[in-house]
Amino acid sequence: MASIEAVPLPGCGQITLGLINADFPTGPLPGDVMRDVLARPAYWSLCWGSGLALAQFILGNPHWVAGKQVVDLGSGSGVVAIAAALAGADRVVACDSDADARLATAVNAELNGVRVDTAGALPARCDILLMADVLYDKQNLPLLTLAQQHANEVLVADSRVTELPDPGYDEILTINALTFPNLGEFDEYGTAHLFHWRAPDRNTTPAPPPRKY
Ligand SMILES: C[S@@+](CC[C@H](N)C(=O)[O-])C[C@H]1O[C@@H](n2cnc3c(N)ncnc32)[C@H](O)[C@@H]1O
């Protein structure tokens, strides 16, 4: 049976998240249950590989967010927003179009003893906007441009997209991380690509040279 359990995140043990139990049923679902799952996908009940990768990156490199106004777009469980708060962000706003995800983010932030504000729309401006595993839906590609209108710099982590259509984004890192609990995804989805965009005329974080983690 599926349930939500609070667990320390493997590979990011300073964060505890309420996620679906690791032994959730994987067999065929009755038709009406399947329809409900598809109509209201609970993305927030998993920590996606890209979110785990970006959380690890931020915790290991806190200067990217410390003292800054941070937005996590497509927050899901809130893993990236919580990492930013733990890394010393001045303020973190977690945006998600799904009200259940906003609730999950708020509950998980409380579980980790950090303040994260939630919103259904982007705040007017922030220093840095973070986006992990949101480009699985090609209809979300315009978010890359929208993010630039709201932020001085943007970090995108995605394991399903290896190139971005906007040449203003530079790939700065690849990080190996699996979705938790493990969904048994294709091997190629075990590597998150980290892309960085910065506004040319604003004071932003110097990018590290490209390398692999
Ligand atoms: C695959 S989950 C990733 C969650 C989290 N970032 C992580 O890495 O674990 C994608 C999240 O993006 C949200 N989302 C999808 N499209 C969105 C949009 N256009 N605006 C805001 N949130 C969106 C979904 O509701 C979902 O919570």
Query: 122 CA to middle of ligand 1, Å?
Result: 13
Query: Using 50, 70 and 90 to split pLDDT, how confident is the model at 157?
Result: very high
Provide the pLDDT for residue 93.
Answer: 98
- The Cα–Cα gap between 89 and 59 comes to 11
The CATH number that applies at residue 17 is 3.40.50.150
Strands 191-198 and 151-158, by their bridges, are antiparallel
Total domain count, the chain: 1
User: In what helix (H) or strand (E) does residue 50 lie, and over which residues does it extend?
Assistant: helix 49-60
pLDDT exceeds 70 at position 112: yes
* Tens-place pLDDT, residues 52-90: 999 999 999 999 999 999 999 999 999 999 999 999 999
pLDDT band at residue 203 using 50, 70 and 90 as cut-offs = low
Q: Which residue has the higher pLDDT, 53 or 41?
A: 53
Which one of 38, 43, 70 would you pick to mutate in the ligand 1 pocket, going by the greatest count of ligand atoms within 8 A of its CB?
43
Compute the average pLDDT of residues 118-135.
97
Ligand 1: lining residues by beta carbon, under 6 Å: 43-44, 47-48, 50-51, 73-77, 79-80, 95-98, 101, 132-134, 136, 140, 143
| Index of the ligand 1 atom closest to the CA of residue 157 | 8
In the reported structure, the alpha carbon of residue 97 is separated from the centroid of ligand 1 by a whole-number distance in angstroms of 7
Residue 200: the pLDDT is: 87
C-beta of residue 54 within 8 angstroms of C-beta of residue 84: no
Is the Cβ–Cβ distance between 196 and 130 less than 8 Å? Answer: no
**Integer angstrom CA distances of residue 119 from 47, 57, 104, 162, 189:** 19, 24, 12, 29, 29
As a residue count, the chain comes to 213
Does the pLDDT of residue 179 top 70, yes or no? yes
Which H, E and C letters describe 171-183, residue by residue? EEEEEECCCECCC
Q: What is the DSSP string of 104-157?
A: HHHHHHHHTT---EEESS--S-EEEEEEES-TTSGGGTTHHHHHHHHEEEEEEE
Mean pLDDT for the chain overall: 92
Residue scoring higher pLDDT (41 or 101): 101
Q: What band does 207 get if pLDDT is binned at 50, 70 and 90?
A: low
Residue 95 CA, ligand 1 centroid: distance in Å: 9
| Pocket mutation for ligand 1, best pick of 134, 136, 185 (most atoms within 8 Å of C-beta) | 134
pLDDT tier for residue 40 given thresholds of 50, 70 and 90: confident
Residue closest by Cα to atom 11 of ligand 1: 74
pLDDT of residue 213: 43
Instruction: State which residues form the domain around 130.
Output: 4-212
Residue bearing the bigger pLDDT, 202 or 105: 105
**Ligand 1 atom 27: the closest Cα is on which residue?**
76
**Does the structure show a pLDDT above 60 at 212?**
no
**Minimum CA distance residue for ligand 1 atom 23:** 74
The residue type at 69: Q
